[in-house]
Amino acid sequence: MRAPFQRPENVLKRTDELIKVGQSVAALDFLYDALTGKRLANANAASTEPVILKFVDLTIEQRRGKQLKEGLTQYRNIVQHKNPESMGKVVSVMLESITKHVAAAAQQSAERATIGLIADLEETESPEDIILSSVSGEQTQDRTDRALVTPWLKFLWEAYRNLLDILRNNVRFEGLYQKVSRQAIDFCKTYERKTEFRRLCELLRNHLQGIGKYSHQQNAINLSNGDTMQLFLDTHFHQLDTATEMELWQESYRSIEDIHNLIQQSKRPVKPQAMANYFEKLTRIMYVAKNALFLAAAWHRYYNFIFRQTRVFSEEQLREVANNVLLSTLAVPIIKAPSQVLSAAGGSGGGGKEKNRSQRFSSLLFLSTVPTRISLISDLVSGDILGRVDPALRPLYDLVEEQFHPLSICREISPILGGKIAGSEADGKYGQLLCNVILTRLVQQLSQVYTTVQLDFVVGLAQFPAPYTMSAAAIERFIMHGARRGEFQLRIDHQARAVAFDTDAFDGACGGGGSGGGGGSGGGGSGAQLQASAAGLMRAQLGAAAVCLANAQRVACPAFVAAAQAQKAAAVAAALAAVRSEHRVAVARKAVIDRRKEVVESAVARRERAEARERAIRQQREQDAERQRLADDQRRREAERAQRELEAVRRAEALKLAASIREKAGIVVDIDDLGMLDTDRLKVLQREQLERDRQDMQARLRLLSRRADHTERAYRRAELPLLADDYARQKRADREHHDAARRAVLDAAREKHAHDVALKRRVARVFADFHAVRQRLDTGRSEALAAERRRLRDLLAAAKDERVAEYRRLRAAKAAADELERATRDAERRAEELAAAAKAAKAAELAKLREELAAQRARDEELLRKRLEKEAEAEAAPKAPAKYVPPSRRAAAAAAGGGSSGSSPAPPASATPPPAAPSSSTGKYVPPSRRQRPPPQ
């Protein structure tokens, strides 16, 4: 049965009445039924707003999140096309109200700091707490907070999550969506909800990934729009700042990846301040990840972005950043990491993962290649970083990278380590890494000066100030670590407590000794060297011999040298010609690629325009359908109003009929009894009975529906304890399937890579023949290609002319058809006007004839009256016997009498007519209206 109150004013009135009598639950159910009904959905958004505000207030008081979400979803459908700003007002009021309830609950609690001890808002009370609360009379502070604050915190968290789910992927609410997202992030930050923050980040990430899935919908979000992309960037930067402040480094890294993907898709350049914030957060993430190489690279990128923004960043800030750039660059380890050693040795396990990780970090830093220690030091020297560094730290670069002083390197660096670096918290984090680099330089420089040294002598040289002191065992462990990684070519004799550097020329073929192997950044041989090692001389021996022989040949055989130079010049000329030819081929290929790119871009633009046109047509159709629906509703309401008026008229007529019967016959007739005698009344009674049956059926169905709803709720409450176990089993199964699928993908990728490498090696041998054959074919077919292009151009011009002629012919035919249609419409209009004029003339003639007939009838009646008076007078006077002749035959009888006897005169016109014959006469009386009338003159 339909609710008695359907208008918004009536709904609010009924709700207030229920609240005043203490029926808040019934009032909320009534509002819920009204909002989800179809009639209120068609109401005006301005009149519906007070209803949804009252609904929100009641759902917050009763903490019924499911009904709140359904009501907001219905209200979103009402206002999204007409008044989307109203949704923002409702959301603001709702969040403000829930926040006030949370603050009030926190004030009731004795100590708000215990709010952060609750690990998960979605976790119910543990069985231990339930047992403890049942056997204990007084609650602890934790249970008090769980009873007072946690329900409101959980309700606020569910409200944020439901709002994000309602507002997502809708261009009309994109600003409100981003605002709610930032408020949800602030909620997690304010109450230190780390678990909820991780779920919120995952939820926002899923919404961002789902934009492409729902791009075909009517109100879909378009990421190619610059304003929309800027809103997403601002939200994710806020998410990154919050994750960094909460020290959730994994979420910070994922936020960095999301921002990087958005920047790659954005067509509008990102603000320099935002990019500086991006790289600053990357430095903190890389420091936590203990990746010294990319920490230094991030500081380099951060400095490159801020040193141009002198209006935003002060000189003091630039100096601090320059200090970090210098210290992080010098702190990059020279000794290779274990994974990099495996990669250099041809390993496929850790090396591949390290390579992928390095490439991913490089892409996050917007670098085309993976940075190395040598490239970072080169950037450090080439820029103005050393000029901005603190004067106390400026000598550090020369001591580590430029000077060769193995006996005093640690002593000269100790004041800097113990003073500026150890005294600053920002610089102190690089101290231990710098000590490792300095110790590496010490061993490298000692290997170039000494063959054998005492281990105690090395330990005595490697003395660092507190808090960076290293024990003898730590120094020995570090030296052996470098030797195992291939950085040092040495042996330690523990019996003699000596360190022997390898001087065998053939033993250092792999690099070592004083040359410095590749470090964690790809090489550490940029340090100062006193002399070349024996291994280096052995590697350069053949080159030196070749140089000596070439010099001797130039002196002994000048003719041969001249011929060789001429041959070299000819080869160079041929190479230059080949280079020019290849350049022309490359230019032509580039032009073809550009043309294809233009064709593809134009096709994409056409497709986008077609999609936009289809979307506009679809929106227009929906608007037309909406207008048609409103018009149908208006017609329906008009029909109902006319029906009500007709029923009122029938009622009034029935009353009049009853009154008439009562007045005329004196009988009191009941209206119902009077209606029973009419078939219409019987039909009305039948419809009323059917309506009562239908209402009774709806009441029974409502009761059955409510009973089914209660049964379903009981089922769900019974299955709620079983969901956790099922979810755990599902998680374990999903993890097993995920691990198996991941292993299969890695194995397939590894096999595919090996197959592709082998295929490349086989195909690489035919590249030269392929290019030669292609060049010969291109040269031979150039004339045929030009002729074909001319033929196609002529065909295109002919087709264009034919198309223009066809268009002109169609346009002329259309104009002729329009002219013919216009002439037809004019002829029809003139014919209608003539028909209307003829009809009016005919009507006027008929009216005139009626008037003439009425006048003739009046004259005949007057003549009849006069004649009857004369006859009465004649009857009163004595009259001779005569035969009665009707007036219609008197003229004929007179003419006949005159013709038979010309001597008998005709009676005068004024003579009195003869009296009527008696009733036994054979004459018959003819009324004047039936007498023969003379034809009209």
pLDDT digits (tens, 9 = 90+) for 518-559: 334 444 445 666 565 665 666 677 888 888 888 888 888 888
- Mean predicted confidence (pLDDT) in 62-90: 85
Distance between CA atoms of 162 and 73, rounded to whole angstroms?
A: 9
Q: Supply the Cα-derived Rg of the chain in whole angstroms.
A: 54
Q: By the 8 A CB rule, do 178 and 235 touch?
A: yes
How many CB atoms are located within 10 Å of the residue 163 CB? 25
Average pLDDT over residues 869-897: 63
Tell me the average pLDDT across 580-596: 91
pLDDT at 808: 93
Which pLDDT tens digit goes with each residue over 781-809?
Answer: 888 888 888 999 999 999 999 999 999 99
15/53 Cα distance (integer angstroms): 12
Reply yes or no on whether the pLDDT at 201 is more than 70. yes
Q: What would the pLDDT profile of 353-400 be if each residue is shown by its tens digit?
A: 778 888 888 888 888 888 988 888 888 888 788 888 888 888 888 888
Average pLDDT over residues 30-44: 72
Instruction: Decide: 462 and 419 in contact? Cβ < 8 Å.
Output: no
Residue 908 parent element (H or E): none
User: Where residue 901 falls among pLDDT bands split at 50, 70, 90?
Assistant: very low
Helix 431-449 × helix 315-330 angle, to 10°: 50
Largest distance between two CA atoms of the chain: 198
pLDDT in the model for residue 680: 60
pLDDT above 50 (res 513): no
How far CA 734 is from CA of 77, 206, 741, 747, 760, in Å, comes to 36, 19, 10, 20, 38
User: So what's the pLDDT on residue 545?
Assistant: 84
Can you give the pLDDT at residue 747?
Answer: 94
Query: What pLDDT, on the 0 to 100 scale, is given for residue 346?
Result: 42
pLDDT at site 812:
93
Model confidence at 71: pLDDT above 70:
yes
pLDDT digits over 449-507, tens only? 888 889 888 888 888 888 888 888 988 898 888 888 877 888 888 888 888 887 665 55
Element containing residue 638 per DSSP (H, E): helix 558-665
- Binning pLDDT at 50, 70 and 90, where does residue 605 land? confident
Q: Beta strand 498-501 with 490-493: parallel, antiparallel or unpaired?
A: antiparallel
> Is residue 508 scored above 80 in pLDDT?
no
- Among 343-357, 574-588, 597-611, the range scoring the smallest mean pLDDT is 343-357
Residue 341: pLDDT over 50: no
- Has residue 15 got a pLDDT over 60? yes
| Mean per-residue pLDDT, 425-438 | 85
Q: Chain-wide mean pLDDT for the chain? A: 79
pLDDT of residue 367: 86
Strands of the 452-454 sheet, one edge to the other: 452-454, 498-501, 490-493
At residue 878, does pLDDT exceed 60? Answer: no
What pTM, to 2 d.p., does this model score? 0.55
Q: Which of 37, 31, 36, 42 is nearest to 78 (CA)?
A: 42
> CB of 354 within 8 A of CB of 337?
yes
What pLDDT shows up at residue 753? 94
- Predicted pLDDT at 520: 40
Give me the pLDDT at residue 801, please. 93
- 163 close to 180: Cβ distance less than 8 angstroms: yes
Distances (CA, A) of 499 to 438, 451, 455, 471, 489: 18, 8, 6, 17, 10
Instruction: Confirm if 192 and 246 have CB atoms less than 8 A apart.
Output: yes
Q: Reply yes or no on whether the pLDDT at 117 is more than 80.
A: no
- The pLDDT, as a whole number, for residue 914 is 45
**CA–CA dist 436, 519 (Å, integer):** 12
Q: How far from chain centre, in Å, is Cα 313? A: 35
Q: Give DSSP secondary structure letters for 738-779.
A: HHHHHHHHHHHHHHHHHHHHHHHHHHGGGHHHHHHHHHHHHH
Contact between 140 and 185 under an 8 Å Cβ cutoff? The reply is no
Q: Specify the 3-state DSSP secondary structure of 395.
A: helix
